[in-house]
Structure 1
Amino acid sequence: MNKTLKDAILNGFYDDNYPGHELLGPQLLANNSDNKIWSTLRDELLKCKSFTWAVAFITQDMLVPFKVVMADLAKKNVTGTIITGDYLGFNNPRVFDELKKISNLKIKIASEAGFHAKGYLFEHEDYQTVIIGSANFTRSALISNYEWSLKISSNKEAALTKQFSDQIKGLEENSFDLTDEWLKNYRKNWVKPVNNHSEKNIISEKIKPNQMQQDALKNLQGLLAEKQTKGLIVSATGTGKTYLGAFAVKAYKPKRFLYVVHRRQIAEKSLQSFYQVIGGKQSDYGILSGNKHDVNKKYLFATVQTLSQDKILEQLPADYFDYILIDEAHRAAAPSYQKILCHFKPKFLLGMTATPERMDEQDVYKIFDYNLAYEIRLRDALEEKILTPFHYVGIQDYEENGEIIDDTTDLRYLTADKRVQYILKELNYYGYSGDRPRGLIFCSRQDEARELAEKLTATSHPAVALTNEDSEDKRGKTVTELEAGKIEYIVTVDLFNEGVDIPSLNQIVMLRNTQSSIVFIQQLGRGLRKYPNKQFVTVLDFIGNYKNNYLIPIALNNDTSRDKDRVRREIQIPDFVGLSTINFSQIASERILHSLDQVKLDSMRELRISYKELKQKLGRVPLLLDFYNYGSTSPLVFAKNHALAHYGDFLQKMGESVELTKKQSQILSFVTKELLSGKRVHELLLLKMLLNSDNRKISFDEYIEQLNKHHAYVDKDVLNSVDDILTLSFFDVKSGKTTKKEQYGGSSLINHDLLTYEFSPVMRNCLKNTAFKKLLMDVLETGLLLNQDYQNDQQFTIYKQYDRKDVCRLLNWPLDVSAPMYGYRVGENVTPIFITYKKDSEEKRNAVYDNQLSDGRSLRWYTRAPRHLSSDEVQRLLKPDMKLQLFVKRSDAVGKEFFYLGEGKVLQDTVKEEKIGPKKKSAVGMNLLLKRPLAPSMYKILFDN
């Protein structure tokens, strides 16, 4: 470790020719899209033996993710100290209350006047890490602000480390332990710092269209310009859906406008919002609900129950309103709404909803002619800071004597006193933002909800159970009691998935299995509407032994890949959504991973469901491009599915009429399986250019010009490789009884001479089939979009995944020699090396090759056996000009693809012949140094235990 640490320091401070080390080398930390300062702090916490932080300012909105880490560290007996203070009265007294809840944390108050430090010290086994700079322990500083912090690791005997340690030691000596008495006095004398943003300013900002609303309004104008008469906008709860509707109506300037909703309270509130935006005479606005019938008003806000009455509809001609807006448009399939929609014939009908996906399979999109004008989804709204950020915490549910909550757990256990106490303990530990808890608890059954509410109330946490058996009046009254602080919790089953508006909610608690990603996001979004003094929402998910746990990371990350390996990474390295954080305790992570191992995400059943949902949304047969733009499944899933030859094959299995010849099907299979992934732009671009050409012919110069526009590297080898791929000669290698070339039809797709490229006669004939042509273009356009994730100016993109066949192609080799390649293949000037870091079984032949990331920067690697230092293969491998390309995967369980880690360099003094394996055969071992230091996130994915 000492040599590694020394090299890393010299690399950072003296000469980058010394080997670097991403984990130990000096780093300038900032908040960017790839990494946040909090991510580095979190990683250091999880690896350290102890820590001491000196931070002047701490905010409560950063303590929830910190508590998740500290709870896991407590199980490993890792403790820490935070030195903070009262400078400028920045720290809210609540911060100290919350810090005191962390059992393995000591809190000290600095006596130094003007204490304004921002330093983080971590003690490791044989070195220390210091992070020091501009970042306080606040959510803004650690996640979003433009901050700089310098991270330095050094030997404990280093002068700089000693200086910092001495400063910390002196600071501790001049600090005192946080006491109840000090906190009582601080709270008594504390004056909240002045906030420059008054409530008046916040309100005025809300009624100006934000960027997403502006985009939606532009799209609505586009529909009107196209003479469309209907449109649908999907807008997440709390994103200003009502104001957006008002802006749209203001722009249209209708003679008479009708707003339809299911509750009078919403109609009255919406009237006020529209008046704020549109203005004019107050007398132009009216209500149609109950006994109030203002049918002669210019802007009429009606409840569906009153409007749908025959005696009301008889008073209003079909063309009475030229603009109608249906709020909560997912309800529009109901008979009462249909009665209204059949009666009126407006010039434009607008639907607005937060939840278009219906569990009852009603086709909401069809009602609005599939004119989806705009979508403001939850994740987008959080990124744009339209909603209150959340801190999601996945923690283990109550467990006793090895018994874990699951789908069949008896009610007595669900509402046992010990489980209730456990839930309350976790609710108290993770806390809430605001003056008192206002929580919504989702559980699995109605009797559980009632009993849980009674037990919470009995423990001085007043709660009310609400189910679908309760009246609308009781629901409204209960919500009012929660907002007034008379009760702390509403306990329900699935009643509040949509339609409820409780802006003051500051806790969402999930005590049930996740049945669907849609419902999960609906429930998560209940508390995200902005509210005064609410800085965040605490979302506590008690994760039991549920078979659907795998849906949690998929829903939180809006993951459409259906790729288990990617879902695993999302659990290992939790993501950020704007200022929101996603956090899993260690045991909760293990339960989710266990659930993931039991499911097949890309099964035909799952694909069928996804296809039906998208077809309903679009009102037509979706293509791969539609899955890329709108779907719940990545287009790549269809390419990777071994049961499908291509997407046309899938459509046929779905009962769609797709007529293809055998040859056409084989060609579609080739472009789908080999090119759709977008890992190289060259073939996709050439085929699309030919397809768009009138005579199916383009010049060599035109092709080169387009490659340059796509910033793609061009040389003789890659152009020859494109020919090899599109003539299928690359695939002229035995694969079972036939060659892959024969499986793809055996015919070249192109002809190429010195001056031109053109489609082959076989392709020209196939293109006479419009279905084939459409499906081919679909693959090419989708592949070009997927290619945006890759760097076209080089053969491989760092940290992207490739299988052995991809590597053969991208190295411009004339044949696919991936089958016999195994761990490596020595080429003329480049050698790809494939390393599986963890072997699944010690009995496997390759388990004797003990690949080790010995110091975080170099891998011990072995040639095949038997091999000797004098072997021709080894001599060629060790040539000074041989380029080594390193590809690594964690284990065989993650599939065939390897992460590209960049070039490697043989450390010559580590090369030696060794006897390996049970038969003690000779092999040559060597350390391969990564030329590019490994990113912390990749280190965690590949090498962390």
Structure 2
Amino acid sequence: MDSLVLQDAILNGLISNQYQGNTLLDPQLLTNNQSATIWQTLRQELLSCKSFTWSVAFITLDMLVPFKAVMADLARIGISGTIITSDYLNFNQPAVFEELQKIPNLTVEIADISGFHTKGYLFDHGEYQTVIVGSANFTRSALLVNKEWNLKLSSRQEGSLFQQITTELNAVKQESNPLTSEWLAKYRMNWQPPETNLPRSKRLGKVQPNAMQKAALEQLEDLVKKGANKGLVVLATGTGKTYLGAFAVKKYQPRRFLYIVHREQIARKSLASFQRVIGGRQADYGLLTGNRHDWNAKYLFATVQTLSQQSILDSLKPTEFDYILIDEAHRAAAPSYQRVLNHFTPRFWLGMTATPERMDSQDVFKLFDYHLAYEIRLKDALAAKMLAPFHYVGVTDYEVDGEVITETAKLSQLVASKRVKYILDQLDYYGYCGNQARGLVFCSRQAEAKELAALFSASHHPAIALTNQNSSQERLNAVKQLEAGKIEYIITVDLFNEGVDIPSLNQIVMMRNTQSPIVFTQQLGRGLRKYPGKEFVTVIDFIGNYQHNYMIPMALNQDNSRSKDRARREVKLPANLDVSTINFTKVAEEQILASLDKIKLDSMKELRQAYHELAAQLGRPPLLNDFYHYGSVDPLVFAQNTQLKHYGEFLEKMGVDLKLTDYERQVLNFLTKEILNGKRPHELILLQHLLHGPYSIDAFKAELMRQNIRVSPEVLQSVDDILSLRFFNVKAGKKLRKDQYGGEPLVDHQDLLTYQLNSRISAGLKSHDDFKRLFVDILTTGREIAKQYDFKQAFTLYQQYDRKDVCRLLNWPLDVSAPLYGYRVAEDVCPIFITYQKDSAEKRNAIYNNQFQDGRSLRWYTRTPRHLSSDEVQRLLAGVKAGKPQVKLHLFVKQSDAVGKEFYYLGPAHIQAETVKEELVGPKKKPTVGMNLVLEHPLTTAMMNLLEM
């Protein structure tokens, strides 16, 4: 690394920001905020270092799972490190030291120093060292959510700061001893557990509604007051759904109440919960199941299998109950539930579910009159501290003869002794919270479950297999054995997706293909119930070479956008859900990305399913703005779909009858493909005002200035070029693109003083409701999408643009994106497009070594053949040596061709004059001019990770 780079970075941070900064090296204050956490910086430093030494007093068990995932990747490339910690204040649990011992590429030292309270993280990068010191211990709260201040500084080995740190570390090491099993045994014997780990009996008091339940009760009461007789509540698994139902019934005070569920075990547990909340005589509560018919109970808890029998229904009047609650209401479309729904006429029906979206496309919302009384999903529940946090780790499944397990793997491969050993090793490595594993394992086949249970047990990890062949009593007995610690694992095949309450679970193990985000979330939710002493749940997902791997990040992030770009970000930049973490080992990440590259997320099948789900929730055909506001499909997915010209076409494919003229369809096509993306708001704002009549140019300019949006004669001319369609006066196939958009200006601005819509659009908006609704929907949605951009300048840092967007936003009169390729030197500006990772050495762009060196500069080359004397090169270099370049460079980079047409905007760049020289490149040694480009804004760590530099 050039010493000047480090010097400039230090001067940038400590003297003046006029010096060139550097993402990797700049002095930084690290805090936890919405854009980054301290852990993300530590993780990046770990993944890029050659070794590390940490001196940190306090470590919590809950932070070791994500740490182990990183250490597993480092072990693969021979990177190791040292942690110096202590027994100060008995803060560190014995289990922390035990888990640290499991990391093979980690040395642990115990400081024998009174009052040892350091919080320092040193990383050796070879050419330089980075230290992070401040307030943060290696604990989950400190690294993810707490208000912490930590200073990050980089130095050479010969720097006095590094020498001071090295001296101090050496002094600490002199007073430290290796962590040994003997030391740990003695520590465990003397260690006192925290007082918060009390038995359940001492922690349970009178049940009171939590904040979420209070809000839901208010919404339900409001629904009843409005005269509704049906309502649906959507609550994430483990958030107190049953107690909420009991609170609602207690408040309603029904004459007689009926609770319906699909399994007797759930009915019995729910009865106990209701009795605890409502109180009263034992005789008031009864069961209606295959074995029990408590006909006279005021609060009757029934299984649908028994209740739906015609003889049972005939014995109960339609008005027998004035309040009926259907638990797991997503099942209510089944014939047995339908018989019950058609028979009874209570004053109020309440449906409760964690997953209203059904894979069979049945309309659950319709069954409850589209009255969604309250909803809280997984992310919200985690943020509200209603669930136990989880640490998810996606690891690669076992390889057989160099091939990772697939959907078609033979049973003999799934239960091979080497695979079982590999699985048990991973379960041990990533661990669990508590003294003993209490795990639920989901596998692919019943025979696999039975064989795995036998093999687990033979390896001293007692396990029981449960399938749909087991009776309800056998399932209940297995759960009791798990809770009592007599077994460690229950191994099943999708049997315990819902309706099973095992709060003490501390491991969820997934050993099967993810077929559905719904099922994934259900299975994840099995372990998220709170339990005394359970501080987190470890989720270990064995990711094979499965075609549906792409669903994993979508399920974890509850992402329904169908956006590949968003899914890639979720894999490469895993988010924290409050203090829950998502972690993928490198190989698992590659498997997911490979799966994502093969799938078409915006296929008509995917969009149709999303449409029906949202239509079911709304009770009407959704518009683009509905998708945006309900967090469903990204509206731009519809715009980018090559099978659709506009959203109206999609509605027609869904069976919606629309009355649109051919010209109106062309206008909607234009708005969808060119304006909806919100990358420039000017056209959207103008068209919205023109809905109400003519609009003066002075009023338009004043409105833009009021909204702090750039305005200039060039921008206004570009708006005219777009809305007149002159910008699109280029070939697109066999005809001019502007002809695909109707061929005539949408807006009349001939007098240069006033804008107004053309007569055909004005007439259509007045007389055709379908056209007006779709027209307004595009403008409204586009304005919402535009909120993510900064319009004080043409481009927003780290947003994505394709070549056509760049032509438009640079105010060029024509769309010249087709011949633009790598760059175009205009009069005063030059956009440069770089594909960072080349797919093939034989592709033209692979002859150039465009590589970022340090997060701020890269080597860039002109086209071939080019010489220093070439006119294009001379214009590009004009004024560069004098420090007054005449052409402004804008740098756009994408990871690879596989990610699509859009490039990330990395900001303005300048040419380092002394680096410019002619070079010969490629196998044919063609002449080109190479030069170093330096970014005005050094890349963030997140962007560097996204581009995989």
TM-score (norm 1): 0.94
- Cα distance in 1 for residues equivalent to 2:48 and 2:101: 23
- Compute the displacement of 1:52 (Å): 0.9
- Compute the displacement of 1:497 (Å): 1.2
CA contact (8 A) 2:440 2:505 kept: yes
Question: What's the counterpart of residue 749 of structure 1?
Answer: 746
Of the three residues 704, 724, 728, the one matched with 1:727 is 724
Distance 1:814 1:784, change over 3 A: same
Matches within 5 A, 1:832-911: 832-877=831-876, 878-879=878-879, 880=884, 881-911=886-916
CA contact (8 A) 1:906 1:929 kept: yes
Provide the aligned C-alpha RMSD in A.
Answer: 2.7
- Compute the displacement of 1:352 (Å): 0.5
Matches within 5 A, 1:428-827: 428-630=428-630, 632-691=632-691, 693=692, 696-700=693-697, 703-704=700-701, 706-707=703-704, 710-752=707-749, 753=751, 756-767=754-765, 768-827=767-826
1:597 match: secondary structure = helix
Question: What's the counterpart of residue 208 of structure 1?
Answer: 209
Farther off after superposition, 170-179 or 540-549: 540-549
- Cα distance in 1 for residues equivalent to 2:678 and 2:456: 55
2:891 match: secondary structure = strand
CA contact (8 A) 1:271 1:285 kept: no
- Cα distance in 2 for residues equivalent to 1:471 and 1:843: 61
1:853 match: secondary structure = coil
Deviations 1:344-365 (A, max 9, x none): 2223222001122333443322
- Compute the displacement of 1:856 (Å): 2.7
- Compute the displacement of 1:186 (Å): 0.8
Distance 1:463 1:769, change over 3 A: same
- Cα distance in 1 for residues equivalent to 2:115 and 2:351: 56
- Compute the displacement of 1:667 (Å): 0.8
Deviations 1:17-76 (A, max 9, x none): 111001111111111122111111111111211111111001110111111111221222
Of the three residues 920, 927, 930, the one matched with 2:932 is 927
- Cα distance in 1 for residues equivalent to 2:784 and 2:220: 26
Farther off after superposition, 447-456 or 564-573: 564-573
- Compute the displacement of 1:312 (Å): 6.0
- Compute the displacement of 1:869 (Å): 4.3
- Cα distance in 1 for residues equivalent to 2:368 and 2:703: 40
- Cα distance in 2 for residues equivalent to 1:699 and 1:350: 54
2:913 match: secondary structure = strand
2:103 match: secondary structure = coil
- Cα distance in 2 for residues equivalent to 1:669 and 1:686: 18
CA contact (8 A) 1:411 1:448 kept: yes
CA contact (8 A) 2:804 2:815 kept: yes
1:904 match: secondary structure = strand
Matches within 5 A, 1:183-194: 183-194=184-195
- Cα distance in 2 for residues equivalent to 1:264 and 1:555: 29
Question: What's the counterpart of residue 104 of structure 2?
Answer: 103
| 1:905 partner letter | H
- Compute the displacement of 1:476 (Å): 1.4
- Cα distance in 2 for residues equivalent to 1:162 and 1:206: 58
Farther off after superposition, 797-806 or 821-830: 821-830
Question: What's the counterpart of residue 129 of structure 1?
Answer: 130
Distance 1:723 1:209, change over 3 A: farther
Deviations 1:352-409 (A, max 9, x none): 0112233344332221122223332223222332211111111121224324321122
- Compute the displacement of 1:528 (Å): 0.7
Question: Does residue 78 of structure 2 align to residue 80 of structure 1?
Answer: no
Question: What's the counterpart of residue 172 of structure 2?
Answer: 171
| 1:764 partner letter | S
2:819 match: secondary structure = coil
CA contact (8 A) 1:209 1:244 kept: no
Farther off after superposition, 257-266 or 829-838: 257-266
CA contact (8 A) 1:283 1:297 kept: no
| 2:897 partner letter | D
CA contact (8 A) 1:710 1:792 kept: no
- Cα distance in 2 for residues equivalent to 1:95 and 1:78: 22
| 2:24 partner letter | L
- Compute the displacement of 1:721 (Å): 2.4
CA contact (8 A) 1:837 1:943 kept: no
CA contact (8 A) 1:678 1:786 kept: yes
Distance 1:769 1:151, change over 3 A: same
1:852 match: secondary structure = coil
Farther off after superposition, 768-777 or 87-96: 768-777
- Compute the displacement of 1:781 (Å): 2.1
- Compute the displacement of 1:688 (Å): 2.8
Distance 1:352 1:409, change over 3 A: same
| 1:379 partner letter | K
| 1:808 partner letter | C
Distance 1:788 1:310, change over 3 A: same
- Cα distance in 2 for residues equivalent to 1:47 and 1:818: 37
CA contact (8 A) 1:393 1:539 kept: yes
- Cα distance in 2 for residues equivalent to 1:223 and 1:871: 75
Farther off after superposition, 183-192 or 341-350: 341-350
- Cα distance in 2 for residues equivalent to 1:133 and 1:4: 25
- Compute the displacement of 1:305 (Å): 4.9
In the alignment, structure 2 segments of 5+ residues that lack a partner are none
2:107 match: secondary structure = strand
- Compute the displacement of 1:145 (Å): 1.0
- Cα distance in 1 for residues equivalent to 2:690 and 2:478: 65
CA contact (8 A) 1:52 1:121 kept: yes
CA contact (8 A) 2:597 2:898 kept: no
Distance 1:860 1:225, change over 3 A: farther
- Cα distance in 2 for residues equivalent to 1:369 and 1:339: 17
Farther off after superposition, 668-677 or 679-688: 679-688
- Cα distance in 2 for residues equivalent to 1:719 and 1:219: 48
| 1:456 partner letter | F
Farther off after superposition, 918-927 or 433-442: 918-927
- Cα distance in 2 for residues equivalent to 1:770 and 1:360: 33
Farther off after superposition, 519-528 or 625-634: 625-634
Distance 1:870 1:394, change over 3 A: same
CA contact (8 A) 1:506 1:538 kept: yes
- Compute the displacement of 1:144 (Å): 1.2
| 2:912 partner letter | L
Distance 1:843 1:677, change over 3 A: same
Matches within 5 A, 1:214-613: 214-221=214-221, 223-224=223-224, 226-250=226-250, 252=252, 254-271=254-271, 273-274=273-274, 281=280, 285-289=284-288, 300-305=300-305, 307-308=307-308, 313=313, 317-613=317-613
Distance 1:333 1:568, change over 3 A: closer
- Compute the displacement of 1:789 (Å): 1.8
- Compute the displacement of 1:477 (Å): 1.5
- Cα distance in 2 for residues equivalent to 1:627 and 1:405: 37
- Compute the displacement of 1:437 (Å): 0.7
- Cα distance in 1 for residues equivalent to 2:463 and 2:170: 48
- Cα distance in 2 for residues equivalent to 1:822 and 1:311: 75
- Cα distance in 2 for residues equivalent to 1:909 and 1:404: 50
| 2:118 partner letter | A
Matches within 5 A, 1:2-41: 2-41=3-42
- Compute the displacement of 1:782 (Å): 1.9
- Compute the displacement of 1:714 (Å): 3.1
CA contact (8 A) 2:266 2:499 kept: no
Distance 1:846 1:406, change over 3 A: closer
Distance 1:761 1:284, change over 3 A: farther
